[in-house]
Amino acid sequence: MAITAAMVKDLREQTGAGMMDCKKALVEADGDIEQAVVYLREKGLAKAAKKAGRATSEGTVGLWVADDGASAALAELLCETDFAAKNEEFVAFAKKLAADVAKEKAESVDSLSDAAKDLTPLVSKIGENLQIGRLATLSVDGLVGSYVHANGKIGVLVALKGAKAGEHDQLAKDIAMQVAAANPLCVCSDQVPQDKLDKEKEIYKAQAMEEGKPEQIAEKIVLGRINKYYKEVCLLDQPFIKEDKKAVKDLLSGTGITIEGFARLALGEGCSED
Q: Could you tell me which CATH class the domain 58-188+236-266 is placed in? A: alpha beta
Dihedral angle computed from the Cα positions of residues 189, 190, 193 and 197, in that order, rounded to the nearest 10 degrees: 50
> Would you mind telling me the total number of residues written for the chain in this entry?
274
* Position 50 pLDDT exceeds 80: no
DSSP states along 95-118: HHHHHHHHHHT-SSGGGS-HHHH-
pLDDT tens per residue across span 219-263 = 889 889 999 999 999 999 999 999 999 999 999 999 999 999 999
Mean pLDDT computed over 256-271: 88
Quick one: 66 exposed, middle or buried, by C-beta within 10 A (0-12, 13-18, 19+)?
Answer: middle
Separation between Cα atoms, residue 177 and residue 166, nearest integer Å: 18
Separation between Cα atoms, residue 196 and residue 24, nearest integer Å: 53
Mean pLDDT computed over 89-102: 97
* Position 53 pLDDT exceeds 80: no
The percent of residues above 70 in pLDDT, for the chain, comes to 92
* pLDDT level of residue 273 (50, 70, 90 thresholds): very low
Selection from 54, 56, 48 nearest residue 19 by Cα: 48
- Listed range (54-58, 65-69, 214-218) with the worst mean pLDDT: 54-58
Q: What is the CATH number of domain 193-233?
A: 1.10.286.20
Question: Which residues have CB under 8 Å from 255's CB, separation 6+?
Answer: 162, 163, 168, 171
**Which ranges in the chain are annotated with CATH 3.30.479.20?**
58-188+236-266
Q: In the 8-state DSSP scheme, what is residue 234? A: B
pLDDT tens per residue across span 15-28 = 777 788 889 999 99
Give the predicted TM-score (pTM) of the model.
0.76
Q: What is the CATH number of domain 5-51?
A: 1.10.8.10
With b meaning 16 or more CB within 10 Å and e meaning fewer, what string describes 14-25? bbbbbbebbbbb
Q: In the 8-state DSSP scheme, what is residue 127? A: -
Selection from 139, 178, 181, 177 nearest residue 160 by Cα: 139
* pLDDT on residue 270: 62
**Which ranges in the chain are annotated with CATH 1.10.8.10?**
5-51
Q: In the 8-state DSSP scheme, what is residue 237? A: G
With b meaning 16 or more CB within 10 Å and e meaning fewer, what string describes 36-46? bbebbbeeebb
Residue pair 265/185 in contact (Cβ under 8 Å)? The answer is no
Residue pair 93/126 in contact (Cβ under 8 Å)? The answer is no
pLDDT tens per residue across span 124-171 = 889 888 999 999 999 999 999 999 997 899 999 999 999 999 999 999
**Average pLDDT score, the chain:** 89
Alpha helices in the chain (DSSP H): 5-15, 19-28, 33-42, 47-51, 82-85, 88-104, 114-117, 120-126, 169-182, 194-210, 215-233, 248-252
* pLDDT level of residue 272 (50, 70, 90 thresholds): very low
Residue pair 116/73 in contact (Cβ under 8 Å)? The answer is no
